[in-house]
A and B are shown apart, each in its own frame.
Chain A
Amino acid sequence: MLIVDLVQSIVDGLLFGATYALIGIGFTLVFGVMHKINMAYAAASVGGAYLALRVIALIGGPAWTSLFIAALAGGLFGLLIYWLCFRFIPLSNPLATLMSTVGMFLLVDEIIVHTTDGMPQNYPVVVSGILDFGEFMIRGDLVFVFLCALLAMVVLLYLLYRTKLGMATRAVSQQPVAAQLVGIRLDHINALTFIITGMLGGFAGALIGSAVGLLSPLLVVPLTIKGLIVTVIGGLGSIPGAIIAGLMVGMAENVFQYFRGVTERDIYVMLLLFVFLVFRPGGIFSSTAKRD
Chain B
Amino acid sequence: MTILRLLAGSAVVAIAVAATSVSATAQEREVKLSGFGAMSGVVRSFGVNSKAALEAAADEINKAGGVKLGDGTKGKLVIDYFDDRCNAEEGISVARRIASSSALVGIGPTCSNVAEPLFGILQKKVGDAGDSGLQFPIFTDVAIKIGLAKISEWAFRNVPDEGAMYSSLFQWLKKTRPELKSVFGGVEEDFAHSRASWYAVMKEVAAKEGFEIKGEAKWLLADTNFTNQAREARRAEADIIAISAHPFTTCGMLKEMARQGVKPKLVIGLTSSSSLETLQGCAGEAEAIIIPTSFAPVTPEAQAAAANAAKFKGSLDLHSGASYEVIKILKDVIESEGVVAKPDTLQADRAKIRNGLAKLTETKGLIGVSKRTPEGEAVKPFLFVHAKAGKWEVLHNPTN
Contacts and interface: CB of A to CB of B under 8 A. Distances in A.
A121 B281 contact: yes
Contact of A119 (B45, B189, B224, B252): B45
A92 to B, nearest CB: 34
A119 B227 contact: no
A12 B260 contact: no
Nearest to A114: B44
Interface in A12-34: 12, 16
Nearest to A129: B259
Contacts of B277: 119-120
Nearest to A1: B235
A interface: dominant SS:
helix
Nearest to A253: B225
Contact of B280 (A9, A110, A120, A139): A120
Given A119-B280, A219-B222, A213 B255 contact: yes
Contacts of B276: 119
A136 to B, nearest CB: 10
Interface in B218-232: 218-225, 227-228, 231
A157 B135 CA distance: 65
Contact of A254 (B220, B225, B282): B225
Contacts of A221: 222
A213 B282 contact: yes
A117 B252 CA distance: 19
Interface string A136-164: 01010100000000000000000000000
Given A121-B280, A254-B225, A254-B228, A213 B219 contact: no
Contact of B227 (A12, A110, A114, A222): A12
Interface string A205-218: 00010011110111
- Which one of B44, B219, B247, B282 has the greatest number of beta carbons of chain A within 10 Å? B44
Contacts of B224: 208, 211-212, 214, 219, 222
B40 A113 contact: yes
A110 B231 CA distance: 35
B227 A117 contact: no
A114 to B, nearest CB: 8
B44 A117 contact: yes
Contact of B228 (A9, A113, A122): A9
Interface in B256-289: 259-261, 276-277, 280-283
A257 B45 contact: no
A276 interface: no
A118 interface: yes
A187 interface: no
A110 B40 contact: yes
Contacts of A119: 45, 247, 276-277, 280-281
A218 B270 CA distance: 19
Contacts of B280: 119-122
Contacts of B225: 12, 16, 212, 253-254
Interface residues of B, number: 34
Nearest to B254: A213
Interface string B288-309: 0000000000000000000000
A120 B281 contact: yes
A118 B222 contact: no
B48 interface: yes
Contact of B248 (A113, A128, A208, A218): A218
B312 to A, nearest CB: 14
B272 to A, nearest CB: 13
A113 B42 CA distance: 7
B285 to A, nearest CB: 8
A222 B222 contact: yes
Contacts, number: 96
A267 interface: no
Contacts of A261: 218
A262 B190 CA distance: 10
Contacts of B222: 218-219, 221-222
Contacts of B223: 262
Nearest to B315: A117
B43 A118 contact: yes
- Which one of B45, B48, B228, B276 has the greatest number of beta carbons of chain A within 10 Å? B228
Given A218-B222, A222-B222, A262-B219, A122 B281 contact: yes
Given A214-B248, A218-B222, A219-B222, A263 B189 contact: yes
Contact of A120 (B227, B228, B251, B259): B251
Contacts of B45: 117-119
A173 B113 CA distance: 46
B262 to A, nearest CB: 11
Contacts of B228: 9, 12, 254, 257-258
Contact of A8 (B41, B44, B231): B231
Nearest to A113: B44
A10 to B, nearest CB: 11
- Which one of A9, A139, A262 has the greatest number of beta carbons of chain B within 10 Å? A262
A130 interface: yes
A16 B226 CA distance: 11
B189 A139 contact: no
A257 B222 CA distance: 15
Interface in A217-241: 217-219, 221-222
A217 B252 contact: no
B40 to A, nearest CB: 7
Contact of B251 (A5, A16, A213): A213
Contacts of B251: 120, 213-214
A8 B227 contact: yes
A228 to B, nearest CB: 16
Contacts of B221: 218
A139 B259 CA distance: 8
Given A119-B276, A212-B252, A213-B251, 6 more contacts: A120-B251, A122-B280, A139-B259, A213-B255, A216-B248, A219-B224
16 contacts: A8-B231, A113-B41, A114-B44, A118-B45, A119-B276, A119-B281, A122-B280, A130-B260, A141-B259, A211-B224, A214-B252, A216-B42, A218-B222, A221-B222, A253-B225, A262-B218
In the A-B complex, list the 3 residue pairs whose CB atoms are closest, starting with the nearest. Answer: A120-B281, A118-B44, A213-B255
